[in-house]
Chain A
C-alpha cells in the first residue's frame, strides 16, 4: 500500500487566527507548515510547544500535537516530553520576551544538555501581547511606539548567548523571506542536537522602528548604485562557513569567534542564515543511553509498568541492600 502523501492542508487547523494583519508571525507559521509537508512528518509524531505571547498561539494553528505552556517555560515542558519519549519530533516556539527575559534561565541551561530539539524565537523587539513594552532584544535608546521613553536597557544578543550557552546549531532568519526561513527551519530540525533560530519578526502594530520596510532597505543607500539596499543579507551568499568540520578545540574556538563577530553586525547589514553548526559532541539522549542502554526503544513514556493492573517492578534487590 502506498501511504498517503501529506499536503500542507494536513498541517492546518480550522482555528481562527487572531494575529494582526501583516504580522511577521504568519511567515513563521507558514514556514513551519511547509517544512512539515516537505519532510512528510506524520502529524501525531510531532509536538509543538509554545510559551505565552502572540507567538505562543502558534500551536493552535498547526495540526500536530500542540502544547501552549506558560510564559517563559516552553523549554522545560518541551524537554520533559522529549526526554520521556525521544522518538517524538519536538519543536519549541515563543517570543523574545518569553525566551530571553522571563525564560532566560532555561535558555542558558538547555545549552548544557544538547537535547535533539529545535527552538524558534519570534524576535520582534517588543512584548506584543502585552501591548508593546521593550523586549530583551530591543536596542538601547530605541523608542518604539508604546514606550513612554527611549529604551534604557541594552539588548541581549541571542546568537552570542546561544553560542556561549552551548547550542550546537545557531541560525537567524527573517520572517518575510519564507523560502530561506523554511530552509533554515528544516536544517535545524535535521540537525542532530540542540538547534536555535532567532527569527527577525516585524510587529507592525508595536514595533514602528524595525519594520518590514526598514529591513527591506528604507533609507539604506548603496553608495555605488545610489539605490536602497536590503538590510538583510545571507551568510551563505558570502561564503561564510558555519560548520565545525573536525571538532578540534582550535577549530571550535575559531568558528565560535567568527559567529560572535557576525552576530554583532546590525544597522545597515544584518546577516541571516546559519551562524554555527557543530555535530561533534554527544547529544543528551546518547548520554542517557550510556546509562540506560535501551532508553530509545523503551523510554519512560512507553514503558510497561503493570500487568493486569498489578505493578511489575521488583524492589526486592534494593530492599536486600538496605
Chain B
C-alpha cells in the first residue's frame, strides 16, 4: 500500500452509459471525505455510443489542473482500456470488468483509424491485441483488479427479487466507483451520501444504488488489498461545482434578472441552471426572480437581452463562438447606445463547428474586435471556477458603471470542470449601478456630454425621462445626426469611457501577478492558469506568472511595468497563433520569448507543461512549442 497525497482517477465508457454520473459520484464521495477535486470531462458531439471519459484528480491540497498521468483507471468497456492504458503510471490500479478479457481492438468500431494506429504502436504487435494482451503489457507495474460485475449484478438481482437483469446494468457504474473507494480505503458512507445528493428525491434509485455500491465495495475489500491511502484530509471549507454553475451563481448574486440563450455547448448548462433556480431568496426576506428566455437564435438572444437592459434590468446572454458570431451586429448597437449588457462567452474549439465539445481559447481577438465600427466594450477573462463567480459580478458592475457591453470570456475547460473551491464569500458582494437614476428633474438627455463620457441613465418608463436610442449617430437626446462636428463629439464621448475605466480599475482587476522573484515570467489569460500554477510548483517556483484579466481596454501601462522587470517572457495559451502574445506586442511593443500553444481540443495538463517548461530551462532553442497530449 502507498501513502498518497494525490490521485489521478479516470473512468470511461460509451456516451450515454452513465460515465458522467459515476464520475460525479466519485468526485462527490472524495469531496465529502474532505479532499480537493479537479474534474475534467471529455465527450464527443454525440448522444449515445462514442467514447467519453472523465478525469478526476483528487488531492489533500489545492489542485488547479488535471494530469495526463493516470493512477487509477476504471474501465467498464474495452475501449477505455485501449484508449487510456498508455497513460497509466507505475503502480497504478486498474479496475476492470473481467468479462472484457477477450475483446479485441478490431471489434471496437468507435475507435477510428488514427487512434487504432496509435494503440497498435503501443502494443507493438497487430496480433496480440485483446484487452488481456493490453493488460499483460502493464501487469508487472500495475495492480490489476478484475471485478466480475455481471456476477455481482446477478446476485444483486436475486437479492432484490428483480427478474430483469437489464434494468440493473446502469448500476455497474456505481459499483466501479465503490470498488475505487474500497481500494483507497475510504469509508463506504461517503459513496452513500454522494448517491443521495446526486439522485436527490428518487428514493428507489438511491436504495438500488446503495445496495449495488455495498456489494462491490465488500467484494473488492475482501478480494484485493488496499492499494493507496490518503495521508490526510484538507482543512479548507470547500464547495464542489462546475464553471457554468459558478457563472450562474455569480449572475444571481450580481442581480442579473433577465437571461436569454440559444442552446449551444458548452454554454447551455448555465442558462438551464438559472432557470432551475429562477426564484431567488433575498436576505431581507423578499423574493426576487429571474426570467430566462430560450430565443429562436443568437441574434434574438443578444437583442432581446439588450431590450431588457434598456428597460432597466441587469441582463445577459450566454453563448459560444458560433452564437457569438451571430451577435456581432447587436454588440455594435449596444456599444453605440451605451447599453449595459453582459455576454458570457464560453469558447470551444473552432473554426466553424470545429470540435464542438472540445476546448480552445481561439476567440480572444474576435471578442475584442467583433462588431463593425469602433465602440467601447470591456472584455474580461476568468482563470478558474472561483474567479468566475466574482468576475461575473464585476462584469455587471462594469457594464452599468461604464454603460457598455461587457464580454466575459470563459471556455469549455472552465465550463465543464467539476472542482472544489473555497466557499464564496457572499457577505459583501458590491453592486454598482453607476449613473442609473430613478427620477428626473428638468430636461433629460440620455447622452448628455460629460467629462468622463458617462451620462445618467434611466429605465424605460421613468417620468420626465423619455429618451431615444438609435444605431445611427445621434445627438444628446438620441436623435439621428450626420453632422460632422456632432459625430466627433459623440465618438469621443463614447470612446473616452475606456480611458475612464482604465483610470478607475485597480491593478488586481487588470491582471494578477504571481511573483516568485524569478527573472522568467509566464503570461497567460483564462483557464491555462491552473496548469501553469501547478507546473510552476512542480518546478520549485522557478517562474512568475502574470494572468491578464482585463483584455479590453488593454491595461498597457501596468503590463509593461510588470514585464519590464523580467528577463524572459513565455506565453502559454490554448490557440494556434498565440493571440495574447499579439496583443502584448501591439500594446506594449514587447516580443515574447517563447510561445507554448495547444489546439488539439484537449486542455493543457500540468505534466505536459512541466516538460515543456523544463526544456526551456534546459536551454531549448524551440521558440514555439506545441503541446499535443490528450485522448
Contact B277 A80 (CB under 8 A): no
Q: Which of B287, B295, B431, B469 contacts A306 (CB 8 A)?
A: B431
| Given A288-B291, A292-B278, A314-B282, also A70-B333 (CB < 8 A) | yes
Q: Which of A56-64, A191-199, A200-208, A226-234 faces chain B?
A: A56-64
| Given A300-B291, A305-B288, also A83-B308 (CB < 8 A) | yes
What A residues does B333 contact at CB under 8 A?
A: 69-70
Considering only residues 468-524 of chain B, those with a C-beta below 8 Å from chain A are 468-472, 478-480
Contact B304 A322 (CB under 8 A): no
What B residues does A15 contact at CB under 8 A?
A: 479-480
Contact B300 A76 (CB under 8 A): yes
Q: Number of B residues contacting the other chain (C-beta, 8 Å)?
A: 76
Q: Which of B49-57, B345-353, B457-465, B570-578 faces chain A?
A: B457-465
B176 to chain A, nearest CB (A): 24
Considering only residues 15-51 of chain A, those with a C-beta below 8 Å from chain B are 15, 42-45, 47, 49
B293 CB within 8 Å of chain A: yes
A312 CB within 8 Å of chain B: yes
A22 to B91 alpha-carbon distance, docked (Å): 88
| Given A43-B466, A292-B279, also A318-B252 (CB < 8 A) | yes
B314 CB within 8 Å of chain A: yes
A83 to B460 alpha-carbon distance, docked (Å): 12
Contact A65 B468 (CB under 8 A): yes
Count of A-B contacts judged by CB separation below 8 Å: 234
B214 to chain A, nearest CB (A): 25
What B residues does A288 contact at CB under 8 A?
A: 291
A189 to chain B, nearest CB (A): 16
B407 to chain A, nearest CB (A): 18
Q: Mark B298-317, 1 if CB is under 8 A from A, else 0.
A: 01110111111111111100
B219 CB within 8 Å of chain A: no
B496 to chain A, nearest CB (A): 24
Q: Which of B284, B303, B310 contacts A76 (CB 8 A)?
A: B303
Considering only residues 290-309 of chain A, those with a C-beta below 8 Å from chain B are 291-292, 294-295, 298-307, 309
Contact B291 A292 (CB under 8 A): yes
A295 to B279 alpha-carbon distance, docked (Å): 11
Is chain A's binding surface mostly helix, strand, loop or mixed?
A: mixed
A84 CB within 8 Å of chain B: yes
Contact B460 A47 (CB under 8 A): yes
Q: Which of B424, B431, B433 contacts A319 (CB 8 A)?
A: B424
What A residues does B299 contact at CB under 8 A?
A: 73, 76
What A residues does B461 contact at CB under 8 A?
A: 44-45, 47, 65, 85, 87-88, 301
A310 to B300 alpha-carbon distance, docked (Å): 32
A284 to B467 alpha-carbon distance, docked (Å): 27
Contact B296 A106 (CB under 8 A): yes
B240 CB within 8 Å of chain A: yes
Contact B315 A84 (CB under 8 A): yes
Contact B471 A313 (CB under 8 A): no
What A residues does B470 contact at CB under 8 A?
A: 60, 66-68
| Given A44-B461, A313-B252, also A63-B330 (CB < 8 A) | no
B191 to chain A, nearest CB (A): 18
B18 CB within 8 Å of chain A: no
Contact B311 A85 (CB under 8 A): yes
Contact A306 B289 (CB under 8 A): no
| Given A80-B311, A109-B300, also A65-B466 (CB < 8 A) | yes
Q: Mark A267-302, 1 if CB is under 8 A from B, else 0.
A: 000000000000000000000100110110011111
Contact B426 A314 (CB under 8 A): yes
Q: Mark B264-304, 1 if CB is under 8 A from A, else 0.
A: 00000000000001111111101111110101110111011
Considering only residues 324-346 of chain B, those with a C-beta below 8 Å from chain A are 329-330, 333
B608 CB within 8 Å of chain A: no
User: For residue B307, which residue of chain A has the nearest CB?
Assistant: A80
A11 to B383 alpha-carbon distance, docked (Å): 51
A130 CB within 8 Å of chain B: no
Q: Which of B239, B296, B308, B423 contacts A80 (CB 8 A)?
A: B308
A2 CB within 8 Å of chain B: no
What B residues does A13 contact at CB under 8 A?
A: 479
A54 to chain B, nearest CB (A): 12
A173 to B300 alpha-carbon distance, docked (Å): 28
6 pairs across A/B with beta carbons < 8 Å?
A66-B470, A68-B468, A301-B257, A302-B312, A311-B254, A319-B423
Given contact pairs A13-B479, A84-B308, A304-B282, enumerate 14 new A-B contacts (beta carbons under 8 Å): A65-B468, A67-B468, A82-B311, A83-B304, A84-B309, A85-B313, A108-B296, A295-B289, A301-B308, A304-B286, A312-B288, A314-B283, A318-B252, A322-B239
